[in-house]
Chains A and B, each alone.
Chain A
């Protein structure tokens, strides 16, 4: 299985801050990388697919980049509704695997 490692595991930030979360795959996955946002008690929500494609309806302050083994999710200016847990997932090969999650908390 391909291992996905996110960093940091948690981060504290303020409204208006720029935040970057990284995700590293244990082997190359081209651009087959998805980012999800999960709020407590809710299902994950797809934000970014194919490493950098913004899902319809997702605010443009979210962006993704990377290919191969190293990827990033950037939130350009944090809003109150962005405090949540973020997961990356490789969609290159079966079984799809998720990172352990990054919890974004209010400072």
Chain B
């Protein structure tokens, strides 16, 4: 059974870059889409972006200029960098995997990490 685990600093200062890593165990990164989603405390879900198994990426236009997503197949890890953070970026950040292999239905999320809370505060 595939498992995803997010890791990174729990507190980031305003204007700095938020950096998170998602480590995948029990399965390969290859052939799937890997996404980052966030959820501000007490609020709903927002899709940040994804990286495909081939390395192509796409980010939410609302965040696009600040987001970098990459995949390291040698380490079975997916990373997220979000630059110039503000208090509005305080949220639980989740990584997730597409339900099925390949390009078909890449945006249905079948497996999620437990999430990690990142607070933007000086």
Contacts and interface: CB of A to CB of B under 8 A. Distances in A.
B112 A98 contact: no
A14 to B, nearest CB: 26
Interface residues of B, number: 20
Contacts of B99: 46, 49, 55
Interface stretch (B18-26, B39-47, B79-87): B39-47
Contacts of B62: 95
Given A43-B94, A43-B113, A46-B99, A91 B108 contact: yes
A99 B115 CA distance: 20
Main secondary structure, interface of A, reads loop
Contacts of A62: none
Nearest to B63: A95
Contact of A46 (B44, B60, B110): B110
Nearest to A43: B112
Interface string B33-77: 000000000001111000000000010111000000000000000
B105 A95 contact: no
Contacts of A36: 109
